[in-house]
Amino acid sequence: MSPYEAAALRKELNSRSQSRVQAHWDAYLKGNAEFLGVPMAGVRATVNSLWDSGLSDLPTTDQREIFTRWARQPYTEERLAAVLLLAEHVMPALSDDDLERLEEPLVSGVFADWHIVDWYSTKVMSAYVAGGDRTLRSDTVLDWADAPALWQRRAAVVSFVPHAKQPREFRQDLPERLLIACDGNINASPERFAHTGVGWVLREMSVAEPTLVADYVAERPQLTSEARRMATARLRPGPYRRR
């Protein structure tokens, strides 16, 4: 068995499992995801160990294929390992041609809970859109807001959370493009996670664009009260609260 096959990854992760960690996540996510019970430090240590043991020597095509295999596994820690593999090791080798591969876990429903989608968006996709042909990459991801799948639409906005505090430094029209992507989310569904992703990115963008965000919230009665509180958290007087 190759040390990079999914079965080998699971064996390595299981060796770092902790029952209290599994109990915590099972209770927190209420059965919406499956866990082995490995803390994030253990997932990262597993990926780093495999990388140092020879994964780093494989061609980039093989490394990308390993990402796809790991991402398709049922346990959250296996999918997080896939995310960390790209974010912390393979990212510099990715090209504009990798957009379809990066989209696949969201299109197929492999990544379909807020925990893994938000990790993937803020660690992998946020770095990816900042490289290569930035206009091509960011336009493509922003257009995910029109996708049929809830989690792909959420990724369209959450992928820009790390860039939202200084959006025009990323690209001059990012604030306006993000508002279009926000509309794609909140107009498509009243589902909670369609709206909280919008609230999150607007909250960060309100640092640089307070009037734009305030006007957007005021003009969108369909925005849920939770998302509205998130979006305006930095605009309200008094101590800062995220919601």
**Any idea where the domains of the chain sit in the sequence?**
1-93, 110-243
Crossing angle, helix 60-71 and helix 6-14, to 10 degrees?
A: 60
The pLDDT score that the predictor gives to residue 85 is 98
Percent of the chain residues past pLDDT 70, beyond the cut: 95
Its pTM surpasses 0.85:
yes
Q: Are 145 and 157 in contact (CB under 8 A)?
A: yes
Domains 1-93 and 110-243 share a fold: yes
- Please count the other Cβ atoms lying within 10 Å of the Cβ belonging to residue 58: 15
What region does 149 belong to: left with phi over 0, alpha with psi -120 to 50, or beta?
A: beta
- CATH T-level fold of 1-93: Leucine-rich Repeat Variant (1.25.10)
Q: Are 200 and 161 in contact (CB under 8 A)?
A: yes
Q: What is the mean pLDDT of the chain?
A: 94
Lowest-pLDDT choice from 16-25, 51-60, 132-141: 16-25
Q: Are 206 and 199 in contact (CB under 8 A)?
A: no
The pLDDT score that the predictor gives to residue 52 is 94
Q: Is the dihedral of CA 97, 71, 153, 89 positive or negative?
A: negative
Q: Are 165 and 208 in contact (CB under 8 A)?
A: yes
**CATH assignment, 110-243:** 1.25.10.90
pLDDT one-digit tens code per residue, 32-44: 678 899 999 999 9
* Calpha distance 105→85 (Å, rounded): 15
Q: Are 5 and 27 in contact (CB under 8 A)?
A: no
pLDDT one-digit tens code per residue, 101-143: 999 999 999 999 999 999 999 999 999 999 999 999 999 999 9
Q: Which contacts qualify for 70-73: CB closer than 8 Å, 24 or more apart?
A: 70/6, 70/9, 71/105, 71/110, 71/111, 72/6, 72/105, 72/110, 73/6, 73/9, 73/10
